[in-house]
Structure formats: C-alpha cells, structure tokens
Amino acid sequence: MYQYWLRFFGLLRKHLFGGFVLLIMLIIGNLGALASPYFLKVIIDKVFGEGDFQLLIQIVFSLLGLYVLRVGANFYADYLYTKISNKITQELTEKLFSHMLKLPMFYFKVNSVGSLVYKINNEVSQVRRAFTGSIISMINSIITIVGLTVLMVLLNLELFIIICLLYPLLILITKYFTPSIKTIIENTRKEESDFLAFLTERFSNVKFIKLFYSHEYEGFLMKNRINRIIDLNLKSTILTSGSNNLSVLLLAFIPLVVLVYGGKQVLESIITVGTLIAFLQYANKLHEPFRNIVSLYVDLVKTSVSIKRIYDVLDEPIDLESASDELIEMGEICEIKFEDVSFAFNDKQVLNKINVIFEAGKKYALVGKSGSGKSTLIDLLCKLIKEDSGSILVNNIRLNEIKTKHWIEKLAVCSQDYFILNGTLYDNLHYGNSSVNKSEIDAILDQMGLSSDDSDTFSSKTLGETGSTISGGQRQKIAIARALLRNPEILIIDEATSELDSLSEQKVFEYINNQPTIRLVIIISHRLSSIQFADEIILLDEGKASEVNSIKEHISMKGGFYKLFKNQLVNSEVARDM
C-alpha cells in the first residue's frame, strides 16, 4: 500500500515550493495556538505571584500579535491547499481518463461503464476530499503533537513520561480494528461502483424495461442493492465508531492521572501551580490531535483504497501501441493479409488460424452465423484487440509495427454500435473530422438523403443522448456520412445499414462505389441486399475462413454460404440471373 502513497505524493513534485510554503503556514498556525497555556503559567506564577503588571501588558500585546499571525497563516494555508489539491486531482483525473481511453478494447468489455465512471468521479473525489480534509488535518495534528511534546517535556518530564505510557494503548486499539475496517471499505466501494453500473445500465435501456413492464422487478433489484450497501455501511460504522469511542475513553483517562500525580507534586512544592495548570491544558490539548489522527486514520484507509483502485487502472498496460515510435511509411494500402491468426476470449477460441487476404480495389463481404467471429476479426484489423498468435500484414508490414494513429487515419468504421453525440448533426459530423468544411458536409448530407429527411430543424437541433430524437435509419446515415467524411482508404461497414430502407441502402453503396479514395471496402451483414455488391464473400465458420468466393460461385457451390442465405436467395435477383 505504501508504494501507492509514494507514487501519489510523487504528484506533489511539481508543487514542491507551494507545498513547502503551505507547511510553514501550517506550522505557524498550529504552534501559535500552543502559546496561550505557557503565557497562562507566566501570568499565574510571575504576574500574580510577583505582582508584575508591566509583564501582564507585554503578554497581552504578544498574544494579540500571535493571533494576527495565526489568522494570516491559516487564511493563506487554506488558499494554498485548495489550489494544490485541485491541481493534483485535476492531473490525476486527466491522467486516468486519457489512460483509460488508451486501454485495449478488452478492458471495456469486462468492466462496466458505471464502474469506470465511478473510478473517475468517486475515487478521485475521495482523494480530493482527503487532500483538503484528512491529509491537512493529519499534518496539523502531527505539528500540534510535536509542539505539545516539546512544551510538556520542558515543563515537566516526569508527567510527560506518564502520558507516554498510556498512548501506545491507543495505537494498539487502532491497529486491532484496521484490517476489518479496510476490508469493509473495499467491499463498500465495490458495491457502490456496481450500483452505479446498475443505474447506468438501467437508464440506458429504459425502453426495454418499459416494454417488459419490469418496473417492479427493477425496484426489487434496486432494493436488494441498497440493502447490501446499508448493511456494509452499518458494519463500517460499528467498527469505526467502536474504535473511535474506545480511544476517546482512554484519552479521557489521561488528564485524570496527570491531575492526581501533578497535584501531589504541587502539594509537595516540587512544581508550581502555574506549571500544573499549563501542563493540564497541554495534556488536554493532546486529546484533540490524537483523536483526530485515530478518526483520520480511517479516512486515510478509505483514501488508500481509492488510490489503489486508481493506480490499478493506471498500471493496466496499453499493449496495443506500436513498439517503435517511428512512423513506418507504408504508402497506399495494396494488401492486408491474415496469416494463421488466432484469437480467444478467455477459453473461447473465436478465430482459429485464420488465413484471408484483402486486396485493394475490391469489396469484400464477411458473413457467418451469429457469433462466428466477424466483428472480432474487424476489431483485430482496427487494432482494438491483439491476436494471440499469427500475424496481420499490411503491404507485408506487421500491423503491430504500424503506429495506431497512422493506421486509424486510413480507416473508417461504421459499426453496429455507432456513436451519436448529444449535439447537433454538424457536431456529429465534425467529430474526428475537424478539417471538413460546410460544403463537404452539405454534399454528403445530400448524398445520404439526410438534407431532405428534415429541413433546417434537423441540422440545428440536438440529437439527444445516443441520438434518441431521430430514427434508427437517420442515425445510421449520420454514422456512414461521418465515416465517409474521413476520406478513408479502408471502409468497414459492420451491420451499419440494417435500418436503412432498400432504396437508401442502394444509394449509399452506389456512392461508396464511386469514391476513388476508398481502396478497400469490407461489409459485414446478414442481409443479402447489403452484400450483393461485394466482389468476394468470406464465410467464417468454426473460427476459420471456410469459403472465399464471389456470390455466384458461392451459390453454385451450394456450400455453407448457400445454406446460410437460402431463404433470402429464393426471391433474389442474383439467384434468378444464374
């Protein structure tokens, strides 16, 4: 755990000067507060004992000066730690967000959106709260304890040793409770993050819930989750409050012991009344920082859990990036070759030593039963996941050696789960295409039939979250238009025309056919109408590219493709022409 804290404090490096000034301000603020009992001793023993009024006036002015200094120091310390903590949490959030976006696609397949949001939002907030709260209070408490120790040793060593004998018990109590508290906090975090994931999933699929009329069932699931969180919170309170209150009991005992032992010393004239009163005041003051440390310790354990969860994400390797930083110049794409490529999700072998060649100038269709691995093959091609064995070669260069940025610039993918921003139509088309101008956008809108779909209102209104205010077909047209605006060399359409009417689909494919910059088109579809434009059709079956033929060859072979599309072939023009 300590290594995580060390790494976290490494973020302070940039703020060393500010941190140093902050420490000085905290020292001034805290030590200033410790002066009063000492002045009280002088007032009792010297001013009243010896009748020195002049000294009283001097003490009053000194106390006044000290208060002004403390107020100034506290004010500046508040400003500084707010500034530093915000900077550090901003850096941490940025680092976490950009690292998460670079993680392999697999990471997002096994981690829910809610849990990722929770890490960026709640875990980082816990760290910020700790910084502005517990860490500063901890420093304040430590400074106060050091100051009090020095003053008490100076006043009376014997009484101080008595106090020292009792405080280790406090540490034992804290140590006893810590492991259980830590486990409960970790479980609570996991439960809270799952709760957020649950909410995100429900609100993203509210239509589904309504259509299944499953409100009551969802309410039941929600109740169970809340109950589990309440249960954990109660257990956590029992442990933290138990530990805190036992410590408080022990702390209350200490001044009583000092009073008995110190009182005896006063009666025997070993120490003055002023010394005993000042010492008692210091001993009482020791409660506060120690009690703080005990309760802050729990808060710091919470923060430790957050820091660990943050660094666990930051330590996830970004293994898809090219090993070399040098840009490998590969020119225009001529050929993409899959050589014995295999890929498995955990134990499930999805692609097994697959061999396929995609040549520039051709259009390919990728077909196969649901779950046969078509999208997985495309994910490999887009470097979203990495093959377990074999290699993907682009113009005979290994895809892994090509820098991701350079490769992605050549691709445009319209996938089943296209991304529609909650912005205007133009915002959506500009996404990733910042250099395109209005006339290019208008031209593509025209081609996609989007300008006639809805007049000006369509282009100026916001499309709603995930495009909820427009139709499925319109969403697909936008996704295709956005992909085409990238002027890609490779265009991949993964079930992205399924919601278009047949006329619109035909127009889209005609437009794609006439784009000179597109060198390779790969279409994934279960619809014959979408794949009939392809020059070659690759059938994926049992993890292999079992048949690669033109549509007519496939039909005459009456193999796997024929069986898959038999029903659709009955009334199709392609089959009739044969």
Ligand X SMILES: Nc1ncnc2c1ncn2[C@@H]1O[C@H](COP(=O)(O)OP(=O)(O)OP(=O)(O)O)[C@@H](O)[C@H]1O
What are the φ/ψ torsions at residue 352 (nearest 5 degrees)? -125, 100
Burial 367-380 (b: 16+ CB within 10 A, else e): bbeeebbbbbbbbb
Segment near ligand X (CB under 6 A), from 166-174, 222-230, 372-380, 443-451? 372-380
Distance between CA atoms of residues 401 and 571, nearest Å = 47
In terms of Cβ atoms closer than 10 Å to its own Cβ (0-12, 13-18, 19+), residue 116 is buried
Question: Measuring CA to CA, which residue among 576, 511, 554 is closest to residue 367?
Answer: 554
Task: Determine, following the binding rule CB under 6 A, whether residue 373 of this chain makes contact with ligand X.
Answer: yes
* 92 within 8 A of 64, measured Cβ to Cβ: no
Q: Shortest distance, CB of residue 372 to ligand X, whole angstroms? A: 4
Q: For ligand X, which residue of 124, 350, 429, 564 counts as binding (CB under 6 A)?
A: 350
Site for ligand X in 85-114 (CB under 6 A): 109
Other Cβ atoms less than 10 A from the Cβ of 217: the count is 11
Q: For ligand X, which residue of 54, 269, 370, 571 counts as binding (CB under 6 A)?
A: 370
Which residue type is seen at 567?
N
Site for ligand X in 375-394 (CB under 6 A): 375-376
* 505 within 8 A of 529, measured Cβ to Cβ: yes
* 381 within 8 A of 301, measured Cβ to Cβ: no
Segment near ligand X (CB under 6 A), from 61-69, 129-137, 284-292, 366-374? 366-374
Find the distance separating the first CA and the last CA of the chain, reported in whole Å: 71
Task: Determine, following the binding rule CB under 6 A, whether residue 560 of this chain makes contact with ligand X.
Answer: no
Q: How big is the site for ligand X, counted in residues (CB under 6 A)?
A: 12
E strand or H helix that includes residue 94: helix 53-102
Site for ligand X in 284-313 (CB under 6 A): none
Site for ligand X in 328-347 (CB under 6 A): 345
Task: Determine, following the binding rule CB under 6 A, whether residue 372 of this chain makes contact with ligand X.
Answer: yes
Q: Shortest distance, CB of residue 107 to ligand X, whole angstroms? A: 10
Q: Shortest distance, CB of residue 382 to ligand X, whole angstroms? A: 12
Per-residue contact flags (x/-) with ligand X for residues 50 to 79, judged by CB under 6 A = ------------------------------
Q: Shortest distance, CB of residue 351 to ligand X, whole angstroms? A: 8
Task: Determine, following the binding rule CB under 6 A, whether residue 317 of this chain makes contact with ligand X.
Answer: no
Q: Shortest distance, CB of residue 373 to ligand X, whole angstroms? A: 4
Task: Determine, following the binding rule CB under 6 A, whether residue 354 of this chain makes contact with ligand X.
Answer: no
**Closest CB to ligand X among residues 415, 504:** 415
Task: Determine, following the binding rule CB under 6 A, whether residue 262 of this chain makes contact with ligand X.
Answer: no
Angle at 474 between CA 472 and CA 480, to 5 degrees: 105
Segment near ligand X (CB under 6 A), from 7-15, 93-101, 294-302, 363-371? 363-371
Task: Determine, following the binding rule CB under 6 A, whether residue 371 of this chain makes contact with ligand X.
Answer: yes
Segment near ligand X (CB under 6 A), from 74-82, 369-377, 440-448, 471-479? 369-377
Task: Determine, following the binding rule CB under 6 A, whether residue 543 of this chain makes contact with ligand X.
Answer: no
**Closest CB to ligand X among residues 349, 506:** 349
In terms of Cβ atoms closer than 10 Å to its own Cβ (0-12, 13-18, 19+), residue 35 is middle
**Closest CB to ligand X among residues 381, 484:** 381
DSSP state of 43: I
Q: According to the 3-state scheme, what is the secondary structure of 500-525?
A: CCHHHHHHHHHHHHCCCCCCEEEEEC
Task: Determine, following the binding rule CB under 6 A, whether residue 368 of this chain makes contact with ligand X.
Answer: yes
Site for ligand X in 523-542 (CB under 6 A): none
Q: Shortest distance, CB of residue 495 to ligand X, whole angstroms? A: 6
Which residue blocks in 268-332 are alpha helix, DSSP H?
273-314
Q: According to the 3-state scheme, what is the secondary structure of 164-227?
A: HHHHHHHHHHHHHHHHHHHHHHHHHHHHHHHHHHHHHHHHHCHHHHHHCCCHHHHHHHHHHHHH
Distance between CA atoms of residues 258 and 271, nearest Å = 13
Task: Determine, following the binding rule CB under 6 A, whether residue 374 of this chain makes contact with ligand X.
Answer: yes
Residues that bind ligand X (CB under 6 A): 109, 345, 348, 350, 368, 370-376
